Structure 1
């Protein structure tokens, strides 16, 4: 028996290590600096598309960086720039379709669309500096700003249990879908999303129990304006466009569409640093069954040669989250970004792009576009 103890101890350690290092999901988009740190040994790795993330990982995004992860149960986690997320637990049994998940947002912001775990009644929680969020629905967003926590529920509902055990409920069948919780525990509920979610605040409930709307909460607005000035965050799209794509009806519209739709440029406005632009073409394939943009291309000519960019990404409800996978200008390698949103009941896609040569960034091109099926 004495000789069996080291063997048993070793097996237990291996079992624990294997369980802790079980896959939690896959990286489906990694733009910029996206790092994963193994909590068991502090080893660091740069995440790229299709890389596995594990139940021991702490994930960090840098300046002008973002990431998206498809989790084991089909859930989605989109991590914003300058964020730190700890995957404390993510377990899912594909045979029983049961599991539990607990993640912790330490810095920055995330958007999450919950998967089968929550749909089948499992435990799914998101820890924040002010309390723990229990999920009653599918689509929500969290942003940390200077110690405060901003919440937005786009579909479904959440319950945030504060450190004093008070519960803040938001979303479906609740009076409010948006809130700010200060570092000291004050609750400000709103009828519109804060500007950290690319919208204006137009109503506020300072005490958490008053449903009367008031125009423009000045204290909150000043704090958010300061955040935007510090980080350089700017609205890409007009408020009217954002309202169109963030409405609850869009969720239903996406769910109703089936198959792959191919969009092409119907109008555009493009400028290049090296001359007039000709022969512009842009395509985008949108797979509504899987919620992805499997491929897209941009091509046009200027005095320096042909610009070409290939991109792919994910339907992220408020936007199409896209990443350029290859770009070139003539014989020179290039890089860039593409941003886009749905309009007119998914019948149009509008957005903009920026491209530049890697070794000579002064050679660049940018433009806006509208795509139709």
Structure 2
């Protein structure tokens, strides 16, 4: 069998089972890397000049972008079980994705171009994740963190674990490690600094979660046809 990994997704929205497969045999023109588990209002995929609406349970692919409109929300779950929740008026580029059960190393590269997000680490080694905004790079250490980013400034809030936040400008590059829940880094092209207590620039994605609990509940793909489930109750195909 030439498939490195096959994850079964069932019961998503219309109840149709999806097989998410990552091939080893050669180049893949549209590599499937995950699926939507939450879609509220206006959520679209962008590929070149093409724009198509996304629904709950739709597959997402490498080298495309996902965009949300006003009053819109989405959640993506990737093959390695990374969870990415997306707030209104956001746009993310799914730049690179390499993952399989048969290879110990992988790569996830995401560009958070604008908007608000919550990122929950998946099963890959922490060094495999490359998260960028227009002004920041975020080094993942086994982590949950929130991001609010514009073209000129990014605000990163640690929810759990640890992250290292650096400016994208390599010379001179400034970095700040967040290792306490609630710690905040503010990044611009000129540098990175911690947020002052009570600062209006502090941000939490949690405000979107109350009315949309599935948006912020860690989700894994279920093997047995019950759809995405909380992490403690789910299993992977082949495990």
Which of 46, 63, 73 aligns to 2:70? It is: 63
Query: Is residue 164 of structure 2 the alignment partner of residue 156 of structure 1?
Result: no
Deviations 1:259-301 (A, max 9, x none): xxxxxxxxxxxxxxxxxxxxxxxxxxx856248xxxxxxxxxx
Which of 184, 192, 195 aligns to 1:189? It is: 195
Deviations 1:313-340 (A, max 9, x none): xxxxxxxxxxxxxxxxxxxxxxxxxxxx
Quote the residue 1:110 is aligned against: 117
Quote the residue 1:289 is aligned against: 232
SS in 2 for 1:93: coil
Give the deviation of 1:161 after TM superposition.
Answer: 2.1
Quote the Cα distance in structure 2 between the aligned partners of 1:47 and 1:63.
15
SS in 2 for 1:116: coil
Equivalent residues, number: 190
Structural mapping, 1:311-322, within 5 Å: none
Q: Which has the higher contact order (CA 8 A, sep 6+)?
A: 2
SS in 2 for 1:289: helix
Gap change, CA 1:85 and 1:146, over 3 Å in 2 = closer
Quote the Cα distance in structure 2 between the aligned partners of 1:236 and 1:131.
23
Q: Is the 8 A contact 1:135 1:159 kept in 2?
A: yes
Query: Is residue 108 of structure 2 the alignment partner of residue 165 of structure 1?
Result: no
Quote the residue 1:53 is aligned against: 60
CA RMSD of superposed structures (Å): 3.1
Gap change, CA 1:192 and 1:101, over 3 Å in 2 = farther
Give the deviation of 1:105 after TM superposition.
Answer: 0.8
Give the deviation of 1:106 after TM superposition.
Answer: 0.8
Deviations 1:110-151 (A, max 9, x none): 11101011xx34420111121211111220111015722111
Query: Is residue 85 of structure 2 the alignment partner of residue 78 of structure 1?
Result: yes
Quote the residue 1:95 is aligned against: 102
Q: Is the 8 A contact 2:87 2:208 kept in 1?
A: no
Give the deviation of 1:191 after TM superposition.
Answer: 5.3
Gap change, CA 1:46 and 1:198, over 3 Å in 2 = closer
Q: Is the 8 A contact 1:34 1:46 kept in 2?
A: yes
Gap change, CA 1:122 and 1:166, over 3 Å in 2 = closer
Quote the residue 2:46 is aligned against: 37
Larger radius of gyration: 1
| Unmatched runs of 5 consecutive residues or more in structure 2 | 1-24, 211-216, 219-228, 235-239
SS in 1 for 2:57: coil
Which of 135, 138, 162 aligns to 1:130? It is: 135
Q: Is the 8 A contact 1:98 1:122 kept in 2?
A: no
TM-score normalised to the size of structure 2? 0.69
The answer to which structure has the higher helix fraction is: 1
Quote the Cα distance in structure 1 between the aligned partners of 2:39 and 2:193.
34
Give the deviation of 1:187 after TM superposition.
Answer: 2.0
